[in-house]
Amino acid sequence: MDVGWFQPAVRNRDDISDAFFKEKTEIFQAVKGGDFEMQVGTYTLDSRQVAAIAACREEFRTGNKSVLIVAPTGCGKTVITVGLAHLLSRKGKKVDIIMSGRQLVFQMHDTLIEAQVPVTVLMSDSGHQFDLNAPVAVISKETIEARRKSSLAFQVWKPDFWIVDEADVCTSRIWQELFQLAPLKIGMTATPCDGKGKGLGYLYDAMVSVASYSELIAAGRLVDVPAGKVFSPYRPELGGVGSTAGDYSQQPLSQRMNTDQLVGDIVQEWIKHGEDELPRGRFVVRVQRTGTSHCQC
C-alpha cells in the first residue's frame, strides 16, 4: 500500500485495510477512533493529531493544492506542524513554516530541534545563519513580506510545501500574492474564517477539522465551565458599538469597557465567589485593558 509521505509508526497496523486511504472521512474516523500514535523525537502525536495528518495527506493525494487544518485550542497545532514537517522532510521535501512574531519563530525552531527535525531560521537579527541545505525553514511573515523580492535566500530556496501558522490572518492581497510562490500549502488555524467572517475557501481547496470543543473537553484537553460559574453582574450599555464578523467591533467595545467600573468588579467578585483555592481567569477586550484590570487586583 502506497501511503506516500504519511507513514506513521502506529499500533494495530493490521486493522488498516487497503481501503483505508480511499475515503477521507473513513480515514479520519478510523485513525481518530483507534489506538494510534506517532513518535517524533521527544513528541508523541495522539490519534487525533495522526488522523489530521492522514486526512491532510489524503486531500493532497486526491489532487488538492492547499489544505486548511482547523485545530481548536487544545488540539496541539504546534505538534501537528512538527509531525507534518518530520514526515515531509523524511520524504525529501523542503518545507517552509511561516510564523508571525519573533518569539513564535524561536519557539517553533526549538520545538523542531527537540523533535530532531533538521531546521534553519530566516528572520532578521535572529542570530541564525540560514542553511540552504536544511529540509525545514522557519520564516517570519514579516521577513517574507519585506525580502521576498530582494533576498538571495528566496531566489535559491525553493520549498515544496508551505505550512502557514494562524492562517486566518494571512488573507490580505499581499498574502494572496505570496501564496502563488507555494506549490502546495497547509494552513493551520483555530478559526476557519477571516477578519470579516468570510470562510477561507477562497484560499484553500479543502479543510480538515481535528476535533470539536466537546470532544476536547471529554478528552480532558480543555476544562469545561459549569453553568453558573461565569460571573459578570455589571451589564454595560453597548448600544451603538456595532459589530464586525458577527461580534462586537473591538475598538469601540474597548473604549466603552475601559472605565474604572470594570465589568464584574474583579476584587469583589473574587471574594464573593472564592469558596475554594482554585485559580481564576479574567478576560479583557484588548491587551491594553490589562492595565485597568491590574489596578483593581
Please state the separation of Cα 106 from the chain's center in Å.
16
> Measuring CA to CA, which residue among 284, 267, 273 is closest to residue 228?
273
Quickly state the pLDDT bin for 281 (edges 50, 70, 90). low
- Same domain for 249 and 123, yes or no, is no
pLDDT at res. 265 = 63
pLDDT at 214 over 50: yes
- Same domain for 82 and 191, yes or no, is yes
pLDDT at 148 over 80: no
> Measuring CA to CA, which residue among 28, 37, 111 is closest to residue 77?
111
- Same domain for 108 and 158, yes or no, is yes
Out of 96-105, 142-151, 234-243, the most confident range is: 96-105
- Same domain for 81 and 166, yes or no, is yes
- Same domain for 128 and 274, yes or no, is no
Residue 1 vs residue 237, higher pLDDT: 237
Domain boundary, last residue among 160, 184, 218: 218
Asked whether residue 32 is assigned to any structural domain, the reply reads: no
Q: Look up cell 468570510; give the residue.
A: 198
Q: Look up cell 521576498; give the residue.
A: 148
Are the C-beta atoms of 199 and 167 separated by less than 8 Å?
no
Asked whether residue 4 is assigned to any structural domain, the reply reads: no
CA-CA-CA-CA torsion sign (74, 75, 77, 81): positive
Q: Which of 56-60, 177-181, 200-204, 233-237 is predicted least confidently?
A: 233-237
Residue 128 vs residue 276, higher pLDDT: 128
Please state the separation of Cα 240 from the chain's center in Å.
33
CATH for 153: 3.40.50.300
pLDDT digits (tens, 9 = 90+) for 127-144: 888 888 899 999 988 887
> Measuring CA to CA, which residue among 62, 82, 73, 84 is closest to residue 6?
84
pLDDT digits (tens, 9 = 90+) for 149-201: 656 566 667 888 999 999 998 888 888 888 887 889 999 999 888 877 788 88
Are the C-beta atoms of 138 and 108 separated by less than 8 Å?
yes
The whole model's pTM is what? 0.72
Query: What is the total count of domains within the chain?
Result: 2
pLDDT, mean of residues 233-237? 67
Residue 178 vs residue 95, higher pLDDT: 95
- Same domain for 180 and 282, yes or no, is no
Q: Which amino acid is at 232?
A: S
Label the pairing between strands 95-99 and 161-164: parallel
Please state the separation of Cα 252 from the chain's center in Å.
28
Are the C-beta atoms of 289 and 254 separated by less than 8 Å?
yes
Asked whether residue 3 is assigned to any structural domain, the reply reads: no
Residue 63 vs residue 280, higher pLDDT: 63
- Same domain for 135 and 186, yes or no, is yes
Q: What percent of the chain has pLDDT over 90?
A: 22
- Same domain for 197 and 108, yes or no, is yes
pLDDT, mean of residues 223-249? 72
- Same domain for 76 and 193, yes or no, is yes
pLDDT at res. 183 = 85
- Same domain for 133 and 91, yes or no, is yes
Asked whether residue 133 is assigned to any structural domain, the reply reads: yes
- Same domain for 91 and 206, yes or no, is yes
pLDDT at res. 245 = 58
pLDDT at 24 over 60: no
- Same domain for 84 and 197, yes or no, is yes
Domain span including residue 106: 63-218
Out of 2-11, 55-64, 104-113, the most confident range is: 104-113
Residue 265 vs residue 2, higher pLDDT: 265
